[in-house]
Amino acid sequence: MGSMGISEALTPWQEIVAEKQSAVKKLVPSEWILPDALWQDLTLPLEANPNRIIEKDIPRRSGLMSTRELQITEAYTTAQLLSALAQGTFSSLEVTTAFCKRAAIAQQLTSCLTEVFYDSALKRAKELDDYLASHGRPSGPLHGLPISLKDSFKLKGIDSSVGFVSLVNKPAEQNSVLVDILLELGAVLYVKTNIPQTMMTADSHNNVWGRTLNPHNTTLTAGGSTGGEGALIAFRGSPLGIGTDIAGSIRIPSLCCGIYGFKPSSARIPFGNQQAPVPDEFSLIHCSAGPMANSFEALQLLTEAVISARPARKDSTCLDVPWQTLAPLSSSERLNIGVLTEDTSLAFYPPVKRVLNNTCTLLAEKGHNLVPIGPERSHVASLAELSMAAFTLDIKGMFAFIASSGEPVVPSVAACAAPSQGEALKSFWAGFEQMDMYHKIASLEAQIHRLKEEWRKLWNEFNLDAVICPGAQHTAVKHDTYGFPPFTVFLNVLDYPACIIPFGKASKDLDPEAKDFGDAGSYNPEETDQAPTAIQVFTSNMRDEVCLQVGKLIDEILNQSQG
């Protein structure tokens, strides 16, 4: 930097970022770097031009991956990989190498990763292969499987900066509880993935690691806050990832990137010792950790394995509730499935409405009983409003992380602090100005409890097995325009388990008319053409096994319809 002019000199926070990014790049083998010729087929800058990365089949065209490595990452479900690893058909070393390579390619195209530790992952994979050879059995139910982690999970000796410059170069002193359990179950950990600054927006963009791009269309958001996982898994750079969800942070990237995601009830999968932007004791709405993958069966596989390990013995925030093995649903069984109907104040975009209608048609054809639930009974808008109030009770901590380094606020975070948002909160708290924090929390809890009671009555009144609805009013949208997520966050307030099932695509041919939704944005058929669409399935609190069982049934019906 000696020859750099004064106007070009880096600020202290920029120097920290430049050094950090340089250090991480040195951890990537030079033979995993994409050849210059491949970039000529892309329109730069990527985030400003609609590059359809997945369609371009860059891992195959790059020549960086062998035919066998391409097969490992593309042709097998997570369950099939685990079976092959347990039998020794694949070694963990070759599977881990394949996914490390593909993750490195994904990073160059989508900026989906933060920390990488390929060398230690390959060393562990070799040790697991040796274990299988010497013991004649796998080391655990996740033996030899590479698993990616959201950046908020701590690994001893590795940063969990969660997009804050002030947390760079502050390695964790011990692992997150879930990390220890995954290792005990036989997993190989190899990368951590990108998130938004503050982890409280749906755009995985920060000043440390940049902006994660959606591999289906690089002008669209990959979602957040677990957006790096969404992009990586969609690119097939990970067979199974772990995210967290307090407002939709697993489900939003899943629906944006066209993958499967599961938010369990809180306290089923351990959340202990994470790097968070808010104090640990702030728990009016509880966060969940959960799986993301390219197949539905992987969601249950991970959830069952972790819960069966009795995580409550290691994490006091976990409930010691065993995994419940359910009797299989018979082909003749008819379920009562609630369907959230449209709220004019939270109108569905045309592709979302079409996919929900198609889902209902397919379920009805199979004989399932569909029960419409209107907005006056679902209270989605009211629950979302309560969540916004809860999240803004005390946000000084996360902005202190930003201020302490001098880094700027990124656009999606700035949008959260826009005057319109402030006015909405002022309106909500009208009449409560004189309340102290204790009474504000008590007031919120009382209102949340009232709506939980309304939902309790709904489950009983219609004897519901599950409920379906969109995961969002829209598909993935342009960067920094996602906004507040009512159709995911209302389930966090209720603390219900919920899964995202990808189904269909947005289509400028099927839904050709543009439409303005006011404060909720606008539908542009050209911009979102071929973006993934999805369905959300949920059950009541602690019925996680039922949610996964019904979700699997619905996924099979929807997938069969697509041939």
The two most distant CA atoms of the chain are separated, in Å, by 76
Q: What would the pLDDT profile of 229-270 be if each residue is shown by its tens digit?
A: 999 999 999 999 999 999 999 999 999 999 999 999 999 999
Structure tokens belonging to residue 138: 């796998």
**75-95 per-position pLDDT tens digit:** 999 999 999 999 999 999 999
Q: Which of 101, 150, 154, 192 is catalytic?
A: 150
Helix (H) or strand (E) holding 293: strand 288-293
pLDDT at residue 7 greater than cutoff 80: no
For residue 236 the two structure tokens come to 């097939």
Q: Using an 8 Å Cβ cutoff, are 264 and 245 in contact?
A: no
Q: pLDDT for 426-475, tens place per residue?
A: 666 666 667 888 888 899 999 999 999 999 999 999 999 999 999 999 99
249 is catalytic: yes
182-210 average pLDDT score: 97
- Single-letter code of the amino acid located at 276: A
Q: Which of 355, 376, 352 is nearest to 515 (CA)?
A: 352
150 catalytic per annotation: yes
Following DSSP, what letter does each residue of 192-239 receive, concatenated? Answer: EE---GGG-SSS-EETTTEE-B-TT-TTBB--SSSHHHHHHHHTTS-S
Q: Which residues are annotated as a binding site?
A: 199, 225, 246-249
The answer to whether residue 308 scores a pLDDT higher than 50 is: yes
Local confidence band at 561 (pLDDT 50, 70, 90 cut-offs)? confident
Of the residues 139, 152, 249, 387, only one is catalytic, namely 249
Token output for 266: 């809180």
Tens-digit pLDDT profile for residues 376-417: 999 999 999 999 988 887 666 678 889 999 999 999 998 876
Helix (H) or strand (E) holding 299: helix 296-308
Provide CATH 3.90.1300.10 ranges for the chain: 18-313, 336-514+521-560
Segment 331-358 shows an average pLDDT of 96
Exposure string for 242-254, b = 16+ CB within 10 A, e = fewer: bbbbbbbbbbbbb
Which residue has 């000796």 as its token pair?
Answer: 157
- Contact 16/168 with Cβ under 8 angstroms? yes
**Whether 508 contacts 525, CB under 8 Å:** yes
| Residue with token string 């449209």 | 342
Mean pLDDT of the chain: 94
Distant-in-sequence, close-in-space partners of 49: CB < 8 Å, separation ≥ 6: 42, 43, 218, 219
CATH class of 18-313: alpha beta
Q: Poorest-confidence range of 210-224, 317-331, 450-464?
A: 317-331
Read off the pTM.
0.96
pLDDT at 331: 79
Exactly one of 111, 225, 254, 382 is catalytic; name it: 225
The pLDDT of 479-499, averaged and rounded, is 97
Confidence of residue 314 (pLDDT cuts 50, 70, 90): very high
Query: What are the φ and ψ backbone dihedral angles of 357, each rounded to 5 degrees?
Result: -65, -40
Annotated binding residues for substrate, written as ranges, equal 199, 225, 246-249
Q: Which residues contact 19 (CB under 8 A, 6 or more apart)?
A: none
For domain 336-514+521-560, give the fold: Amidase signature (AS) enzymes (3.90.1300)
Contact 334, 368 (CB under 8 A): yes
Q: Give residue-wise pLDDT tens across range 103-146.
A: 999 999 999 999 999 999 999 999 999 999 999 999 999 999 99
